[in-house]
């Protein structure tokens, strides 16, 4: 049974969920391969060609996001990587780092000949990358159409994830526990925002991936599966396809098929 503890104090997932992550991610990949060989993906709504920027999780780069990026491209979007290589976490000046990232992305998008007529882009972030997507959207309000996060702990303490030790090893610092920053991360960006989460996540406490209260244009969508397999989880791909197909300025809630 799911805990009713406040999201900010959610404990990291149970050890059995963590240990089984690789095997469950492999199972999700097998399901992804089956999806590619079937006609199910053909039912996903087609895109309008706008730019979609993907942000990887901690200790990850463009590689694990290839299935998701390929999925978006097959739907007709101009899906691109964030272009910063391995995600080792932000520098000590988090705000300055985010501003630099936003400027880098603006330059990357400006170099592309494709895109929507209104010039807007969608941002998709996996795990830690979802925090970047949310915060960049706040810095770039006129150009970001929507934000989608996948297994992103925006609403919890650093202790709500098993990845904090990996973060310290890669970044050379502990994840920030600055109270003002944590409060800011909980606030969704002004654009339509979807948080995809799983109660079977073995890396991040699912409670930390959900919002405290309903807000207009903000929705938490639950899927089944592991954290490591979310980038190719067929349920995640279906949600992403539905969310990206929303006409700009006309948000509608996601409703599972059936």
- Higher-pLDDT residue of 214 and 258 is 214
* The two three-digit tokens of residue 85, written as one number: 């290589």
Q: How far apart are CA 184 and CA 115, in angstroms?
A: 30
- What's the token pair of residue 229? 């397999």
- Residue 62 neighbours by CB distance under 10 Å: 16
Residue 257 vs residue 211, higher pLDDT? 211
Contacts of 220 (CB under 8 A, 6+ apart): 194, 195, 197, 209, 210, 211
Summary mean pLDDT of the chain:
89
Q: Which pLDDT belongs to residue 142?
A: 92
Report the percentage of the chain scoring pLDDT > 70.
Answer: 91
- pTM of structure: 0.93
DSSP sequence for 213-256: S-BTTEEEEEE-S-STTTTT-HHHHHHHHHHHTSPTT-------
Distance CA 4, CA 20 (A): 24
Across 111-126, average pLDDT: 86
pLDDT-derived band at 176 (thresholds 50, 70, 90) equals low
Dig out the tokens for 234 from the structure: 């067929």
- Taking the C-alpha atoms of 7, 86, 97 and 191 in order, what is their torsion angle to the nearest 10 degrees? -50
C-alpha–C-alpha distance, residues 108 and 35, integer Å? 31
pLDDT digit string (tens) for 5-60?
Answer: 445 578 999 999 999 999 999 999 999 999 888 877 778 999 999 999 999 999 89
Q: Could you tell me which CATH class the domain 12-244 is placed in?
A: alpha beta
pLDDT at position 28: 96
Give domain limits for the chain. Answer: 12-244
Q: What are residue 221's DSSP bridge partners?
A: 196
pLDDT for the residue numbered 113: 75
């Amino acid at each position: 049974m799911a805990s009713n503890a406040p999201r900010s104090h959610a404990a990291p997932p149970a050890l059995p969920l963590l240990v089984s992550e690789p095997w469950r991610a492999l199972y999700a990949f097998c399901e992804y391969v089956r999806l590619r060989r079937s006609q199910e993906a053909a039912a996903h709504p087609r895109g309008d060609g706008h730019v979609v920027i993907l942000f990887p999780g901690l200790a990850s780069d463009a590689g694990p996001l290839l299935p998701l990026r390929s999925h978006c491209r097959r739907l007709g979007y101009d899906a691109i990587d964030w272009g910063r290589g391995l995600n080792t976490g932000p520098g000590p000046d988090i705000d300055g780092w985010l501003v630099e990232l936003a400027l880098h992305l603006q330059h990357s998008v400006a170099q592309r000949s494709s895109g929507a007529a209104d010039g807007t882009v969608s941002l998709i972030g996996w795990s830690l990358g979802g925090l970047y997507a949310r915060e960049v959207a706040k810095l770039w309000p006129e150009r970001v159409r929507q934000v989608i996060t996948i297994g992103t702990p925006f609403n919890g303490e650093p202790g709500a994830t098993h990845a904090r030790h990996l973060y310290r090893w890669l970044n050379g610092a502990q994840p920030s526990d600055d109270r003002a920053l944590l409060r800011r991360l909980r606030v969704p960006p002004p654009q339509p925002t979807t948080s995809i989460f799983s109660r079977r996540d073995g890396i991040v406490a699912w409670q930390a991936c959900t919002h405290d209260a309903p807000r207009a244009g903000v929705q938490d969508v639950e899927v089944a599966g592991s954290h490591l397999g979310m980038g190719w989880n067929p349920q995640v791909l279906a949600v992403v396809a539905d969310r990206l197909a929303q006409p700009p300025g006309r948000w509608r809630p996601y409703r599972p098929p059936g």
